[in-house]
Amino acid sequence: MEKRNEFPHEMLSALNNANSILLCCHISPDGDAVGSLLAMGLTLRSLGKQVTMACGDPVPRQFAFLPCEREIVNADALSGKRFDLAFAVDTATLERMGACAEAFLQAPVTMQLDHHGDNPGYAQYNVVDGKAAAAGCVVRRLMKALNVPLNKETAACLYCAISTDTGNFMQPNTTAEAFAILAELMEAGLNLDEAARQLHLLREEPSARLLGCALKSLKVFGNGKCASMRITARDYRDCCALPEHNTAIVNYALNVVGVEAVFLAEERESGEVKASLRSLPGLDVAAIARKYGGGGHKQASGMRYPGSLDEMCGRLERDLLQLVGERE
């Protein structure tokens, strides 16, 4: 299906005609996924719809302050249920939907809103804007198309979505639209100082200790243009930390003066090895992630690796060196 950057009449009509709606986001949910999911859920409920919000992975406790966050169910809760319509937000591929994909595909009508430019358009209705700062921006557009006004609750959710995906409005993907929406959110009653503190300043103790482990591992190479950090399974155990406690740690490496491209490599208790990649504008780390079956945005991507932590770090170091060398 061709990707569209607008809301066709048929899509709005299908939404209005549906009674029971399944809403999904991607696994390992971040602030944009959770915030967009909740904002969309509140919007559809205001129209009288029966909405079930689901995610294939647990929602990080960082987002517990958001309204209705506890109502997001896991994929197991969808077993045996049927919906008039299934709707995905901030989910670039069906695979990223995890165990929720089965229930999504069983719905007679499927839709999605997204901002990943490499989204293949897997639903019947696809609104994908690769230039949007966050999926939350596209959700806000749909709210306007549906004539649903903002309130304090949806404002908090959309702030979570947009601010986390723009690094608190500091990253290069931040757009004028993002700031315009922020103004609308504040007019709707957003408690900006409290929401910003919850999302960008507060850390649980395990997260702070995990950050310390990552910083101790900091390696700068490539004439100061590249950096890496690693977190081992033992680090997770010693810090009594969970995967959700690594939020935004990778950005600390990118904030070193002169560094242009970085990765954070993680080894989980399950044996899984993952990496998060970040870069400055002009360097496409998504291309590296895609080599290993991952993906994301040009300046923020992720991947899983089937080998060991040491092996992955060695390969990613060579990839980053090649990336910065190609630009020189």
Separation CA 5–CA 115 (nearest Å): 10
DSSP, res 277 = E
Instruction: Count other C-beta atoms under 10 Å from residue 80's C-beta.
Output: 6
Residue 326 confidence (pLDDT): 56
* Sheet order of strands, 300-305 included: 219-221, 226-231, 261-267, 273-279, 300-305, 295-297
pLDDT band (50, 70, 90) for residue 172: confident
Phi/psi for 146 (5° steps) reads -90, 0
Looking at mean pLDDT, say which of 122-131, 238-247, 267-276 comes out highest: 122-131
Q: Does domain 206-327 have CATH number 3.10.310.30?
A: yes
The larger pLDDT score, comparing residue 42 to residue 270, is at 42
Integer distance in angstroms from the first to the last C-alpha of the chain?
A: 39
Domain ranges of the chain: 9-200, 206-327
CB of 289 within 8 A of CB of 302?
A: yes
Separation CA 96–CA 235 (nearest Å): 27
Residue 5 confidence (pLDDT): 44
CATH number of this structure's domain 9-200? 3.90.1640.10
**Four-residue CA torsion sign, 168, 169, 172, 178:** positive
Say yes or no to pLDDT of 4 above 80: no
Say yes or no to pLDDT of 307 above 50: yes
> Encoding tokens for residue 109?
């009508």
Phi/psi for 143 (5° steps) reads -55, -40
Say yes or no to pLDDT of 133 above 90: yes
Residue 3 confidence (pLDDT): 41
Mean pLDDT of 135-145: 97
| 3 state SS for 119-154 | CCCCCCEEEECCCCCCHHHHHHHHHHHCCCCCCHHH
Say yes or no to pLDDT of 117 above 90: no
**Four-residue CA torsion sign, 148, 119, 27, 318:** negative
pLDDT tens per residue across span 34-81 = 999 999 999 999 999 999 999 999 999 899 999 999 999 999 999 999
